[in-house]
Amino acid sequence: MLAVLSPGQGSQKPGFLTPWLDLPGAEARLRWWSALAGVDLVHLGTGADADEIRDTARTQPLLVAAALLAAEHLPMYDVALVAGHSVGELGAAALAGVLPAEAAVTLAGVRGREMAAACALEPTGMAAVLGGDPDEVVAAIEAHGLHPANRNGAGQIVAAGALDALDKLAAEPPTRARVTRLKVAGAFHTPYMAPAEAALAGVAAGITPADPARILLSNLDGAAVNHGREMVQRLVRQVTAPVRWDLCLRTLADLGVTGVIELPPAGTLANLVKRELKGEGAPEIVTLNTPDDLPAARDLIARHSGLRGHEPVVQFRVVVSPAAGAFAPLADLAEGAELRAGQVIGQVATRQGPVEVTAHAGGLLTEWLAHHDDPVAPGQPLARIGGHA
């Protein structure tokens, strides 16, 4: 199985989109998206310096546009799974078919502007805590009145909150850990961003999303999301909720992902995958930074897609597990039964309690792909829904 990953803020580099503008139609596409995002994406991706593209209001739509621009040159119909880090989730949602590209870029523009405005309300920041025991690190972060805003895996947790509290954390780091301040505008993915979440929710309410056409992982808990409306709600909630990239990495491992492509500006997520998913069975990785990398990316998709020809194994009408646990199908629901959209077909018993599994489309229950008490991972296919009789 192959996964395509969309990076988040902090991965941008001056001029990283310059070679992409040589491709036919690329500049026109960026100018159209610039009108939607309210920023000049062509300038930001080519001529802007590091300080200019560090501005949250500019960076967020730039990153989403870059990922979507590059993905247009890949055979995405052969990709089974997508995920994004922080604002990269908007790009991933578009690649999964939940949002049109135009909606993803527009929301990224709103998200960036509103988060920049929230950062200006009071002095806050973020710091990377590298190493140490994860539980001890989180406890130390919370003891200083800070928030674990990003749990990225590979021994990296990001603390966020008031600047004086970050200074105290740096002066008293957790055992076997070091603290490095990040050059960001404020405390992203914390309650400090509540005004931005409210503003984004107001715009997102006008979107009519589709259900994912492939496995789409959520930063909230690493789970696969079956329903478009739920994904939009999660995208809004993620403005103030921690990014659990560590759980997304765990899901990649649980699903046996063998190939990974990181969209531009690539490198950050690829390095996390390398450090976390290592040893036997480690996935093959391609970092897609320029059009020169496209042949390698296409080759990786051809060899690792896990799909038969151009017909996806994981399709719109495959219901996947929303969480890790033990699956229990509805006792009186047999193959051949007629299902309606939204109907509960079973549940997954997790450590936090049962999670309902629902059909995202109406049709015939043609085949159970998991059975009673089977252990399942997030994103694992549970049932196949066919057309109506």
Active site residue 34: no
Helices (H), the chain: 26-37, 41-46, 50-54, 56-71, 88-95, 101-119, 134-143, 163-171, 194-204, 228-237, 245-254, 268-276, 294-304
d(CA 119, CA 240) in angstroms, rounded, equals 12
d(CA 235, CA 16) in angstroms, rounded, equals 26
Establish whether the linkage from the previous residue to 375 is cis, with ω within 30° of 0: no
From 6, 34, 86, 218, the catalytic residue: 86
DSSP for 71-89 reads HTTS-GGG--EEEESTTHH
- Mention every residue, 6+ apart, whose C-beta is less than 8 A from residue 114: 195, 196, 199, 200
Sign of torsion over alpha carbons 214, 217, 218, 224: positive
Active site residue 189: yes
- Mention every residue, 6+ apart, whose C-beta is less than 8 A from residue 207: 99, 103, 107, 232
d(CA 328, CA 53) in angstroms, rounded, equals 48
Q: Which of 147, 239, 160 is nearest to 193 (CA)?
A: 239
d(CA 357, CA 343) in angstroms, rounded, equals 8
From 85, 147, 189, 360, the catalytic residue: 189
User: Which residues is 259 bridged to in the sheet?
Assistant: 2, 284
d(CA 147, CA 270) in angstroms, rounded, equals 25
Residues marked active site are found at 86, 189
